[in-house]
Amino acid sequence: MTEKVRSEVDKFMSGLIRRNPGETEFHQAVQEVAESVMPFLFDHPEYRKASILERLTEPDRIITFRVCWRDDQGNVRTNRAWRVQCNNSIGPYKGGLRFHPSVTLSVLKFLAFEQVLKNSLTTLPMGGAKGGANFNPKGKSDEEVMRFCQSMMIELSRHIGEDTDVPAGDIGVGGREVSYLFGQYKRLQNRWTGTITGKGLSFGGSLIRTEATGYGCVYFAQNMLEHRGDSLEGKTCLISGSGNVALYTIEKSLELGAKPVTASDSSGFIHDPDGIDEEKLAFLKDLKEVRRGRIHEYAEKFGCEFIPNERPWNIPADVAFPCATQNEILEGDAKTLLGHGVRVVCEGANMPSELAAAHQFLAAKILYAPSKAANAGGVAVSGLEQSQNSLRLTWTREEVDRRLREIMQKIHAQCVEYGRRGGDDVNYVDGANLAGFVKVADAMLAHGIV
């Protein structure tokens, strides 16, 4: 980065930090994009003149509201919920809902901002939003989760709609929560619309939606490897998390001949040097999706190691798929991974690498795929779910999978086009940021000052 660009990024960031005090995750997400986009803005003054980056980093609107509900003991409980509608220049707002005690406005603003560029990369007409609540579904009964979802939807329903804003799941919001939210929305509207995605298959859900983020992430890793004449076959893979994204990343990496050896949750990780095979994965799915148990049970069942309160980044491997949460790879972890010869880091979770860790991967010129490219398969199939709902049609598993693979290839091609550094070396961070940005920026320029 030249001095001129660095000083412009610093100036832009100091204004953003002043306007959004204490929102560290939001600052981090914007900084990464500003570093990629600023050189491009110098070459294209029309975007600077129209203050596109300033406008893109100020959400269209943020809704904050109280959610009251009654627990099983009859106590009244109060949570805070948000919907951050960031930008709808290229299509209706779209993005998940997160239920986790760590949810803050800063987290949702970073996720909504990332979502704008990610949705643009999918090639589908979707704007970007994100929402959620500081509600912890863990340890709650189904009835309690239902009452919370119904109460939240009473307010949220005023701000969403099939052509306005289409929420989906994220951390803590899986099939059960989406179903309760959808049921209440339908009741309030007295209309059946595809306003929420990730629905059950019997009421408008798309085949492959459950698997899409994990599958898409592995397809992206395969695309990057193929670009260098290599493949996933025989590669040892580290996976963090054991939720929706992690489980289907494990499944697809197995299918493509790789060897996944770790999985984790917030209590620690398991290391299975023999590899998580199909039978073990079936156990893990039942443990996490049905019984909602803890990861150490896997180690007890299959006689492997459980390492409490740690993440799997000190295990030597060829590929890392961080699939749990933001900032789970710190700079030191990145150095450890590189020291062990990691060749691919492909982000299933949103912003799992802190900025200094991402800089390490970029400097080492490994195949490093940022989340907005690598995990876009989830929202892409959500977009396909919306199309099927509008058409009142259901595509086959093969059809949706084919479209998903094609979309991941197109995202990869855009990253290569905008991020090529010479030869077969690609800066996927710059590529994803620029390709996502240009499409939205052009739409904003065309719309005038709004």
- Of 214, 184, 181, nearest to 198 (Cα)? 181
Q: Using an 8 Å Cβ cutoff, are 67 and 80 in contact?
A: yes
CB 46, min distance to ligand NDP, A: 32
Q: Does residue 52 bind ligand NDP (CB under 6 A)?
A: no
Q: Does residue 349 bind ligand NDP (CB under 6 A)?
A: yes
Q: Does residue 205 bind ligand NDP (CB under 6 A)?
A: no
Mark the segment that binds ligand NDP (CB under 6 A) among 80-88, 219-227, 242-250, 300-308.
242-250
Contact pick of 36, 195, 197, 375 for ligand NDP (by CB under 6 A): 375
Q: Does residue 244 bind ligand NDP (CB under 6 A)?
A: yes
252 SS3 class: helix
Q: Does residue 322 bind ligand NDP (CB under 6 A)?
A: no
Query: How many residues sit close enough to ligand NDP to count as binding (CB under 6 A)?
Result: 23
Mark the segment that binds ligand NDP (CB under 6 A) among 65-73, 236-244, 334-342, 362-370.
236-244
**Token pair in block for residue 3:** 């001095």
Q: What are the backbone angles phi and psi of residue 242, rounded to the nearest 5°?
A: -150, 30
- CA distance between the termini of the chain: 32
Mark the segment that binds ligand NDP (CB under 6 A) among 73-81, 164-172, 188-196, 358-366.
164-172
Q: Using an 8 Å Cβ cutoff, are 254 and 215 in contact?
A: no
Q: Does residue 266 bind ligand NDP (CB under 6 A)?
A: yes
Q: Does residue 360 bind ligand NDP (CB under 6 A)?
A: no
- CB neighbour list of residue 224: distance below 8 Å, 6 or more residues apart: 344, 346, 367, 369, 412, 426, 428
Give the CA distances from residue 112 to residues 33, 321, 343, in Å, rounded to whole numbers and listed in that order.
13, 22, 30
**Gap between the Cα atoms of 425 and 215, Å rounded:** 24
Burial of 392 (0-12, 13-18, 19+ CB in 10 A): exposed
Out of 94, 109, 130, 199, the active site residue is 130
Q: Does residue 115 bind ligand NDP (CB under 6 A)?
A: no
Q: Does residue 171 bind ligand NDP (CB under 6 A)?
A: yes
**Helix, strand, coil % in the chain, rounded to nearest 5:** 50, 15, 30
Q: Does residue 238 bind ligand NDP (CB under 6 A)?
A: no
The number of angstroms, rounded, from the C-alpha of 393 to the middle of its chain's C-alpha atoms is 27
Q: Using an 8 Å Cβ cutoff, are 349 and 243 in contact?
A: no
- Of 266, 272, 268, 211, nearest to 236 (Cα)? 272
CB 153, min distance to ligand NDP, A: 19
Q: Is 130 a catalytic residue?
A: yes
For 364-368, the CB contacts below 8 A with 24+ separation are 364/338, 365/421, 365/425, 366/338, 366/342, 367/221, 367/224, 367/225, 367/228, 367/343, 367/428, 368/344, 368/428, 368/429
Contact pick of 95, 128, 167, 241 for ligand NDP (by CB under 6 A): 241
Contact pick of 33, 56, 324, 416 for ligand NDP (by CB under 6 A): 324
**Gap between the Cα atoms of 249 and 217, Å rounded:** 7
Mark the segment that binds ligand NDP (CB under 6 A) among 63-71, 141-149, 296-304, 343-351.
343-351
Closest residue to ligand NDP, based on beta-carbon distance: 243
CB 147, min distance to ligand NDP, A: 20
| Residue closer to ligand NDP, measured from CB, 138 or 397 | 138
Q: Does residue 260 bind ligand NDP (CB under 6 A)?
A: no
Q: Does residue 268 bind ligand NDP (CB under 6 A)?
A: no
| Residue closer to ligand NDP, measured from CB, 38 or 166 | 166
- Of 297, 245, 246, nearest to 267 (Cα)? 297
Q: Does residue 249 bind ligand NDP (CB under 6 A)?
A: no
**Gap between the Cα atoms of 315 and 340, Å rounded:** 8
Q: Does residue 287 bind ligand NDP (CB under 6 A)?
A: no
CB 248, min distance to ligand NDP, A: 9
CB 212, min distance to ligand NDP, A: 7
State the binding string over 209-228 for ligand NDP (x if CB under 6 A, else -).
----x---------------
Residues near ligand NDP (CB under 6 A) are 102, 169-172, 174, 213, 241-246, 265-266, 323-325, 348-350, 375, 378
Q: Which residues are catalytic?
A: 130
